[in-house]
Amino acid sequence: MSTPQSPSQSVADPFSEVLRQQTQDAHRAAERAPFVGALMSGRLGGEAYVDFLGQLYRIYIALEESAELVADDPVVGDFLDARLHRVAAIESDMEALVDHRWRQVMPPATDATAAYVERIWTAPRDWPSAFVAHHYIRYMGDLSGGQIIARMLTQHYGFGEDELSMYRFGDIKGPVFKQTYRAKLDHAPWSEDERRRLIDESTLAYEFNTCIFDDLGARYL
């Protein structure tokens, strides 16, 4: 898995826009993975979604537990918001989708999931702001595409509200929250080198997601 160097940043663009643009190809590759297309078009069974949710569960445990290790960092701490946390919501969904035995019958982590979780834990040890890349990819992605995903899952698999807690964020207003988040990215006191590192780490996070989808595709396609 590569960690590409980012192109030169234009001083005219806010960093949040540079980050979006320079990770766009990796983002699109993840969205266009065959497993995603098959799942979102209703061509797979509900067990494939449960497996996918189980992979996310492991990722969010890593994110939300490792957040405690960087919470006191003066830059990273500003991005943390407990309202974003997804672990409890996923546990509720799993209970509704499977039953109380869901932990015992949950499919194993894919190799890519295990590697992604390891990266979430290890990258911030050298540079705490690396955590922001993974936080940004996951939570901003959920806020941006979650409602669309929930509608498609309802349409194709008949899931009800009690099975889709993952995509509800309570009193968070998506557009306002995302605007505030982007402003934090723009004003964080990172050097140019640190901004390049954040772009590379974000690209890597998208690549991990693509690999997870490829692993799930090998199971279900």
Please give the C-alpha separations between residue 26 and each of 63, 172, 187, 208, in angstroms, as whole numbers: 20, 27, 24, 10
> What's the average model confidence in pLDDT over 195-207?
98
Using pLDDT thresholds of 50, 70 and 90, give the confidence band for residue 5: very low
Using pLDDT thresholds of 50, 70 and 90, give the confidence band for residue 26: very high
Q: Is the pLDDT of residue 6 over 50?
A: no
pLDDT of residue 1: 60
Q: What is the mean pLDDT of the chain?
A: 95
> Which CATH superfamily groups domain 42-220?
Heme oxygenase-like (1.20.910.10)
Buried b (16+ CB within 10 A) or exposed e, 38-60: bbbeeebebebbbbbbbbbbbbb
Angle between helices 46-70 and 141-157 (to 10 degrees): 160
For the chain, which residues make up each domain, given as ranges? Answer: 42-220
> What's the average model confidence in pLDDT over 74-90?
98
pLDDT of residue 24: 98
Please state the separation of Cα 86 from the chain's center in Å.
Answer: 10
> What's the average model confidence in pLDDT over 48-58?
98
pLDDT tens per residue across span 127-178: 999 999 999 999 999 999 888 999 999 999 999 999 999 999 999 999 999 9
**Residues 163, 164, 166, 168, CA torsion sign:** negative
pLDDT of residue 11: 52
pTM for the full model?
0.93
